Amino acid sequence: MAIKKVWLDESENDCISCGVCEITCPEVFEVPDRMIVKQVANFDAYEAAIRDAVESCPSEVIKFE
């Protein structure tokens, strides 16, 4: 299934800015102070890396649909 949206779940403010997501998929994630999702045109091109970043996040705050 194609990924249409990726975001940081800020409900608990748990992002620890470790940078794992940016290392795993720098095309989609950036961590200046806290993780942000870059506005890319096609998440499908990075689907595997996005899923890896989500699974690798120690705070489990990256969500996608």
Residue ranges of domains in the chain: 6-64
Local confidence band at 34 (pLDDT 50, 70, 90 cut-offs): confident
Which position has the token pair 């994630």?
29
Residue type, 13: N
**Cα distances (Å, whole numbers) of residue 60 to 15, 45, 63:** 8, 22, 8
Tell me if 34 sits within 8 A of 8, measured CB to CB.
yes
pLDDT average, residue stretch 26-30:
95
Residue 4, token pair as written in the block? 């249409």
- Whole-model pTM: value is 0.88
Residue-averaged pLDDT of the chain: 91
Q: Per CATH, which fold does 6-64 belong to? A: Alpha-Beta Plaits (3.30.70)
pLDDT average, residue stretch 55-65:
95
Q: For residue 19, how many C-alpha atoms fall within 13 Å in the half-sphere facing its CB?
A: 3
